[in-house]
Structure 1
Amino acid sequence: MDIRNTPIEPDCFYHLYNRGVNGEVLFKTERNYHFFLRKIKENLLSVCDLYAYCLMPNHFHLLVKIKSEDELKSLVKVPHLDKAKEGLHAPKNIFSKQFSKVFNSYSQAYNKENNRHGALIESPFKRKRIDSEEYLRKCVVYIHQNPKGEDFTNDPYSSYRDLLAGNAASLEKGEEVIRWFGDRENFIFCHQKEAEYKF
């Protein structure tokens, strides 16, 4: 199955990732990074929980867990969220539409700022379902190590520092992520080794 067509299911973890069309730069300024993260918080956190992230100049990675089916169905009645048809596909529709909001609002602002036109981010967005705690740990390390050739521990556009600092305002699920590794010391130790992640 094409990884872009992996079904979005409630109560499941996903590694979401995407890049600029033809490798185009997505984030040119600090303001761009912060605006994108704000759009994620405004639009995605109603349908999923964010566990880890990394934004690179021409692509990004997110580790999320989709809300439960009951939570997603209740959102159909929320006025500011896009409506989705009742039935088996409602959760996927709600999530996909909220993700499209992130892309569309960011792309419009970026195009206006840079006097460009047309698509900025590839579509559909890519995702990989994570089905074990071991795989979750490997995915977290992989996402944080994404800035190759750099000191990823000081990257300002990754969740690594926020997780260690317990910055709940930035990453509400930080304590849970640390628990996947046992404690902070093992979290740091596991990040010192190269991620064994099939990507």
Structure 2
Amino acid sequence: MQIIEPLEFGNYYHIYNRGINSENIFKENRNHEYFLNLYGKHINPIAETLAWCLLKNHFHLLVRIKTLEEIQENKNEFKKIILHQSFGNLFNAYTKAINKGYNRHGALFERPFKRKLIHNDTYLKSVIKYIHYNPVNHGFCEHPIEYPWSSYLTCISEKPTKLKRKKVISLFNNIEDLKTFHSKKENFDSLENFLSL
């Protein structure tokens, strides 16, 4: 029986999933854009995002679940907050749109969605690089800077963003160290085996 990591307030998680039977979940650019819009609606109220990447048949997210106090300070009403339900709402809303737009039916994502608790800053840095390097590892590009559907470009930009860019940069000391860290090839086999995606 698969053990599912519970989501808890204040913790960092690597959240990832793929299409059922490895089906493509992002078929064209407007799908990525729609997913990110839904993500803002459903996830931004309960989590801060440090990294993300959307590929054809899977995605990776790195989030810090907000504390209960942080979540409630932005809500007018106090109701029970079920953290995994926010992610479920995101995936259900996206599935409905894809099913309607592409004349399909049924589940789109594998269930349950995968999540790994991140215990320390070293692991946090490794997961950020792993997420940004995913398109390179899958042969879509030679360097993360070439891939438009990840947070790497946002990390090295100065444009306004809801991504926790300052936190990410501080983990690497400064933006130049972040770029240097991302320019070095790395073998992610141990992390891949751990994630088993």
Task: Tell me the TM-score normalized by structure 1.
Answer: 0.86
The residue number in structure 2 matching 1:143 is 131
1:172, CA displacement in angstroms?
A: 3.2
Q: Is 1:183 aligned to 2:174, yes or no?
A: yes
CA distance in structure 2 between the partners assigned to 1:103 and 1:52 by the alignment: 18
CA distance in structure 1 between the partners assigned to 2:72 and 2:169 by the alignment: 30
Where do 5+ consecutive residues of structure 2 fail to align?
A: none
Work out the percentage of aligned pairs sharing the same amino acid: 39
1:77, CA displacement in angstroms?
A: 6.2
* Structural mapping, 1:21-40, within 5 Å: 21-40=20-39
1:111, CA displacement in angstroms?
A: 0.6
* Structural mapping, 1:1-199, within 5 Å: 2=2, 5-72=4-71, 78=77, 84=80, 90=81, 93=82, 95-147=83-135, 148=137, 149=139, 150-151=141-142, 152-169=144-161, 171-193=162-184, 194=186, 196=188, 198=191, 199=194
Quote the RMSD (CA, aligned, Å): 2.0
1:69, CA displacement in angstroms?
A: 2.5
One-letter identity of the residue aligned with 2:163: E
1:9, CA displacement in angstroms?
A: 1.1
CA distance in structure 2 between the partners assigned to 1:118 and 1:9 by the alignment: 29
Q: Helix, strand or coil for the counterpart of 1:61?
A: strand
One-letter identity of the residue aligned with 2:94: Y
Where do 5+ consecutive residues of structure 1 fail to align?
A: 85-89
CA distance in structure 2 between the partners assigned to 1:134 and 1:113 by the alignment: 41
One-letter identity of the residue aligned with 2:54: L
Is this contact kept in 1: 2:51–2:163, CA < 8 A? Answer: no
CA distance in structure 2 between the partners assigned to 1:160 and 1:173 by the alignment: 12
Task: Tell me the TM-score normalized by structure 2.
Answer: 0.87
Q: Helix, strand or coil for the counterpart of 2:156?
A: helix
- 177 and 126 in structure 1: CA distance in 2 versus 1, 3 angstrom threshold: same
Is this contact kept in 1: 2:47–2:66, CA < 8 A? Answer: yes
Is this contact kept in 2: 1:138–1:195, CA < 8 A? Answer: no
Is this contact kept in 2: 1:141–1:195, CA < 8 A? Answer: no
1:73, CA displacement in angstroms?
A: 5.5
